Structure 1
Amino acid sequence: MTDNRIRRIVILGGGTAGWMSAAALSRALAGQRVAITLVESDTIGTIGVGEATIPTIHWFNQIIGLDERQFMAETKATVKLGIEFVGWNGEGSRYFHPFGTFGPPGDGTMFLHRLIRGRADGDTAPTEAYSLTAQAARSGRFARPVPDRRSLLSTLGYAYHFDAGLYARYLRGLAERAGVTRMEGMVGSVQQDGEGGFVRSLTLDDGRVVEGELFLDCSGMRGLLIEETLGVGYDDWSHWLPCDCAWAAPSAAETRLTPFTRATAAEAGWRWRIPLQHRVGNGYVFASRFQDEAAARASLLAALEGPPLADPRLIRFTPGMRREAWRANVVAIGLSSGFLEPLESTSIHLIQSGIAKLLSLFPAADCSPLLARQFNRIFGQEMLDIRDFLIFHYHATAGREEPMWRERQAMAIPQTLTERLAHFRNSGRIVLSSDELFRDASWFAVLDGQGECPGDYNPLIEGVHVQDNLRQLGALRSDIGRAVEALPALSRP
């Protein structure tokens, strides 16, 4: 039998995407005599502001064998329990998108219908009162969720804020110890075969040649292999997601850590605030059609809680995705596969999602187009699902009169999002596929927070008397209150 196994993998680009890929592949392929080479240049900067994550990061950290305590120390990480949205329904408004679930353990999506019914019958408690994670975040308390599904503590969820540059450096150490070879250099040319367009080697600017059977493009928005070499094309989503620039600047660390990200609506976009152990990450994502770069920079600086620790850095981008993230023997991972602004902290998730799908569909050296089509289908659908979630944040705003926001409120939205909103408005149902990243609790938090009102609830819950349902809701609030008081106060790692 002919040996058709991949023996050489080349990763183009370092940063978070490159070193996450190197760490995961070296772990998954340990003992299989596969050479992994990562090519990067210190002269090429990285975006490096993806400092907020979502709970799926635990999966990745587990598969590469990270020790949480060491990882948090090395990356200056802090605990993240969710995202607070400020000003999205006008000045002074705020709501919280918590990780974990709403309601008691084991009630799942049905609890949301119990809550909708309770409100129709007179319950006026805020939505946050039904989330243990949200109440813990507001109180500055934290405990890791427990595996016992009968415990209220099982409803907790958490992720991290961390320094993306330190994370990449930490992963680099793990990958190199696992046998990954790093080559410093710039790519001067790319060699392809004449038939299928497969990439066969990279020639660096000093003449060194790097050969491989599988190439991962982690070159960032440039997409040196997937776009500049293979020309797969790009779907531009800026008619739905108008922000195309961001200023980023660090400020001094907090004395008392805030266990959540804050996203504050502004005149032509929104500002992020991400607390780390050693500093606070700040940024302003804005639409250049509605505000020039100098005015946006001034807006960010005026909103900082203290002087910046470095000059603000400008990042330009086009929201959208490659029409194919895998073509021939090139797989785009991270920003080379597309860009979705960090409103719901999905950038690092999409890196690990691409890696997970590649591991699941790992090819032989012929890189069957069947595998590429499946990868592109499922990864593309994930990008579309997240896109719709982000579009909703912009579209369903109220109380903001700036031109950018008025345009967002009036815009036509994708049919997929229109259908989802129709279900919720009609019956309180959040219709999801089994593979979607954001589940019922996340959608409900944002739908509810931005003022969407369900017209009904699932009639299956009417077996419980009105007063019994209201009493159960009250008892749950009390249980959550007691559980929060028993949690330890959050301390620095």
Structure 2
Amino acid sequence: MHKSSQNLSQKSLASICIVGGGTAGWMAATLLCSALRGSNIKITVVESADIASIGVGESTVPSIMDFLQVCQINLQEFIQATSASFKLGIRFDDWLTPGANYFHPFGRVGKDINGFDFYQAWLKSLADGGQTQWLDHSAAAIMAENERFMLRPPQPENWVLSSYAHALHLDAVLVARYLRQLAIKRGVTRIEATVENVDVDPNGFISGLTLNNGVKLNSDFFIDCTGFSGRLIAQALDVGFEDWSNYLPCNRAVAVQTENVGKPVPYTIATALNAGWAWKIPLQHRAGNGYVFASQFTSDDEAVNTLLSRLSGTLLNEPRIIPFVTGKRTKIWHNNCLALGLAGGFLEPLESTAIHLVYKTLIHFIKHFPDRDFDSYTELAFNQKIDADYLEIRDFIVLHYCTSGRDDTEFWRWCQNMPLPESLEEKIALFRKRGQIEHTPGQFFSTDSWCSILEGMKIRPQKYHPLLDAFDKHSLANTLIENVQNIRATVMKMPGHHDYIQAHCPAQVTR
């Protein structure tokens, strides 16, 4: 028998340099030093003492819990250090019409019946005269409505306790500070400096950096966490930017912090306004507030005044204007440089996906981790994966605007006639016909999430799946009513959100 042999050669990376700190930089350092433990790859972070975090990425999605677990971070300690509160979803006020609201809950809504999506079974029950509401079947929505919370038990007694998910509201500056201390303790090197010059070799690879302290820093791989400026990916490597302003016209935000008035609620509030929308993110020690707006429909001064007129609680800082362009780099990974966070792209924080995209980018990078050959196929595979993530989130955010019933301002009239990505048009068309959402592997937003937004916007399919006619309507009605009762009974035994925090993880914040 012929036996073939192959010499496998490995040219492993010896060093990674992360340029820029902030949430993205220190998430990268913390996750990589966990993932690369035992590899002897040296990780260095270069950050300026002067550049503050943008500080609006204070609301997260449930993948933050995966990040903490992968990095072996104690949840209680993290919450106390970042003044975090829990988040069960987002309440959308005034998006359909002024005065109307709906909720996007985390976790499952209902449970599948005989292999069919719960949404289809629920549609069938409505056709048969059922009276339950979509969100009656979401534990997270009922918890949020009643301001109840508890962590999911390791061994849930019933399906209700395993059906909900949660994220965190947190202080981005405190997150960066906590992760920096942790990463340094775990062996990451920090250099306090700024980049004066980026050396690029004839093949388009970064060969080294010159810092403002005179140090020449060489590394095998570089991660650009320099924010919107993209010091490495854009300025040095000249990687282009794909502008999505034609789908998402908001291009500025004003942000301000206030003292809490009342107990923090376990959800983010996103309120539609005349030229965009406002956020309210309740932490333990304060609230984060902001207005994301389109400058073609309102001025900076008007936006600031609009936001301030809505606030209750003493201002803790001066309002800051943050300009941005919605879109992403044409390549997130190019040669020996990975763009992370704002350097890679920006999607407005309507669904709190900024920190999720940092985490997802890092996970894809670890799966496609290079050696010093930097073969183009690995880079291409990575870029296709992260591109799909950005496109999915873009379409989901556009969904909130294009389905609004508002036509009371120029901005909302623009949204009613906005161009739609073909991928989103097809998704909405299939849903309108028969309530189906095509789900692809690796997709972040579940069918339940899409249904929650569409149901909140009063978009109801013309039909349900025809095979559901085989269901006995009385049996289905009884199952749904029983499930709703189980959810409410389980939730009402939970402690209040504020009481749970005070009992288990009160903030220990020194600013």
With normalisation by structure 2, the TM-score equals: 0.94
Would you say the 8 A contact 1:245–1:317 is kept in 2?
yes
Could you tell me how far apart the structure 2 residues matched to 1:302 and 1:400 are?
23
Distance across 1 between alignment mates of 2:416 and 2:286 = 35
Contact 1:100–1:155 under 8 Å retained in 2: yes
* CA distance, structure 2, for counterparts of residue 437 and residue 473 of structure 1: 27
The unaligned stretches of length 5 or more in structure 1 are none
Deviations 1:238-259 (Å, cap 9, x if unpaired)?
1110100000001112432200
Task: Assess if the C-alpha contact under 8 Å between 1:102 and 1:111 holds in 2.
Answer: yes
Query: What are the within-5 Å matches in structure 2 for residues 329-478 of structure 1?
Result: 329-478=336-485
C-alpha deviation, 1:147, in angstroms: 5.3
The alignment partner of 1:412 has SS state of coil
Q: Which structure 2 residues correspond to residues 473-488 of structure 1 after superposition, within 5 A?
A: 473-488=480-495
Return the letter of the residue paired with 1:438: F
Instruction: Tell me the equivalent position of 1:285.
Output: 292
Partner residue, 1:186: 194
How far apart are the structure 2 equivalents of 1:241 and 1:147?
41
Partner of 2:66: 59
Query: C-alpha distance in 2, partners of 1:270/1:305?
Result: 17
Q: Which residue of 2 aligns with 1:37?
A: 44
Q: 1:148 to 1:107 in 2, by over 3 A?
A: farther
Question: Which secondary structure state, in structure 1, belongs to the residue aligned with residue 492 of structure 2?
Answer: helix
Does structure 1 residue 46 correspond to structure 2 residue 53? yes
Q: Per-residue deviation at 1:101?
A: 0.6
Q: Structure 1 CA distance, aligned partners of 2:111 and 2:384?
A: 36
Kept after mapping to 2: 8 A contact 1:395/1:411 = yes
Structure 2 unmatched ranges of 5 or more: 1-7, 506-511
For the residues of structure 2 that align with 1:424 and 1:134, how far apart are their CA atoms?
23
Contact 1:15 1:46 in 2 (8 A): yes
What one-letter code is carried by the residue in structure 1 that aligns with 2:188?
V
Following superposition, the deviation at residue 189 of structure 1 comes to 0.5
Measured after TM superposition, the shift of residue 123 of structure 1 is: 2.5
Aligned match for 2:149, one of 142, 146, 163 = 142
Q: Partners in 1 of 2:113 and 2:28 — Cα distance?
A: 35
Query: For 1:483 and 1:109, how far apart are their aligned partners in 2?
Result: 25
Q: What is the CA distance between 1:468 and its match in structure 2?
A: 2.3
- The separation in 1 between residues aligned to 2:189 and 2:350, in whole angstroms, is 35
Query: Shift of the alpha carbon at 1:151?
Result: 2.2
Deviation digits for residues 100-141 of structure 1, max 9, x if unmatched? 111147878621111111222222333221111100111111
Partners of 2:261 and 2:313 within 8 A in 1: no
User: Cα offset for 1:374?
Assistant: 0.8
Cα distance per residue 1:409-459 (max 9 Å; x no partner): 111201100100111111110112111110111111001101211111122
Q: How does 1:201-220 map to 2 (within 5 A)?
A: 201-220=208-227
Report the Cα distance in structure 1 between the residues aligned to 2:193 and 2:93, rounded to whole angstroms.
44
Which segment drifts farther, 147-156 or 173-182?
A: 147-156
Deviations 1:155-207 (A, max 9, x none): 0110100001101111001110111111111111111111x211010101222
Of residues 174, 182, 186, the one that matches 1:174 is 182
Contact 1:55–1:158 (8 Å) recurs in 2: yes
Aligned 8 A contact 2:10 2:371 in 1: no
User: How many Å apart are 1:31 and its aligned residue?
Assistant: 2.3
Measured in 1, the distance between the counterparts of 2:349 and 2:414 equals: 21
Cα distance in 2 for partners of 1:216, 1:109 equals: 43
Count the aligned residue pairs.
492
Deviations for 1:328-361, whole angstroms, at most 9, x for unmatched residues? Answer: 1001111111000000000000000011011111
Residues of 2 paired with 1:391 and 1:210: CA distance? 42
The one-letter code matched in structure 1 to 2:342 is: L
Q: Is the 8 A contact 1:250 1:279 kept in 2?
A: yes
What residue number does 1:72 align with?
A: 79
Q: What is the distance in 2 between the residues matched to 1:108 and 1:315? A: 47
The answer to whether the 8 A contact 1:14-1:40 is kept is yes
Moved over 6 A (4+): 105-108
**How far apart in 1 are the matches of 2:129 and 2:61?**
34
1:294-349 C-alpha deviation (Å, 9 max, x unpaired):
00000000011223111101100000010000111001111111000000000000
Is the contact made by 2:13 and 2:371 (CA closer than 8 Å) also made in structure 1? yes
1:131 equivalent in alignment to 2:116: no
2:228 counterpart residue number: 221
| 1:105–1:152 contact (8 Å) kept in structure 2 | no
Alignment-derived partner of residue 259 in structure 2: 252
SS at match of 1:486: coil
Find the counterpart in structure 2 of residue 158 from structure 1: 166
Q: Distance in 2 between matches of 1:266 and 1:374?
A: 40
Distance 1:179 1:450, change over 3 A: same
Query: 2: distance between equivalents of 1:126 and 1:107?
Result: 21
Partner SS, residue 202 of structure 1: strand
Q: Give the distance between the partners of 2:99 and 2:427, measured in 1 at CA.
A: 28
